[in-house]
Amino acid sequence: MKMKLPIILLSSLAGMALCRIRKSESGISIKEVENSIEDDGEYGIMVQNGKHFKAAVTIGTKLVDKHSDIQWHVVLIAEAVKDLADDDALQEVAEGAEKAGLRVIACQSAMDKLGVKKSDLPDTVEITENGVIYMLGLQENDFKTLSL
């Protein structure tokens, strides 16, 4: 039984390597992929903790600097809501996000579960009843989304 796991792992790694070879054979470079970001793209990113929130804002700000018409929504769920309420440095990140033209949205369900009040968050943070439902709505509105 112990031998099956290494064999499965090696098979998976070999499959991933083969997949990478095929992609590189397609001729698309990393720069081409990175430059395919649409100038007026619509993106949503759902984050579950403060570190991911900070990363999402950093990436969003960089993209907005390069593509001024991008819409970038950062949706905080779970511990990210509490992290933002408790961390002054993250509150400054949220305020900077608003200045850069990003939208920061916190999940009311997470706020209720974790005892966070609207007054604990920066005024720039918007509230949605449920962060997951908000993300699904973004998808229905043709936003490209991902979760961290």
Whether 26 and 80 share a structural domain: no
Each residue of 7-38: pLDDT tens digit? 444 444 445 444 454 455 668 899 999 899 99
Whether 42 and 114 share a structural domain: yes
Task: Give the pLDDT of residue 27.
Answer: 84
Each residue of 65-96: pLDDT tens digit? 999 899 999 999 999 999 999 999 999 999 99
Residue 144 has pLDDT above 60, yes or no: yes
Whether 100 and 135 share a structural domain: yes
The parent domain of residue 18 ranges over: 1-35
* CA 99 – CA 103 distance, rounded (Å): 10
Whether 10 and 26 share a structural domain: yes
Query: How many separate domains does the chain show?
Result: 2
Whether 48 and 14 share a structural domain: no
**Looking at residue 1, what DSSP letter applies?**
-
Task: Give the pLDDT of residue 11.
Answer: 47
Task: Give the pLDDT of residue 10.
Answer: 40
Mean pLDDT of 122-145: 98
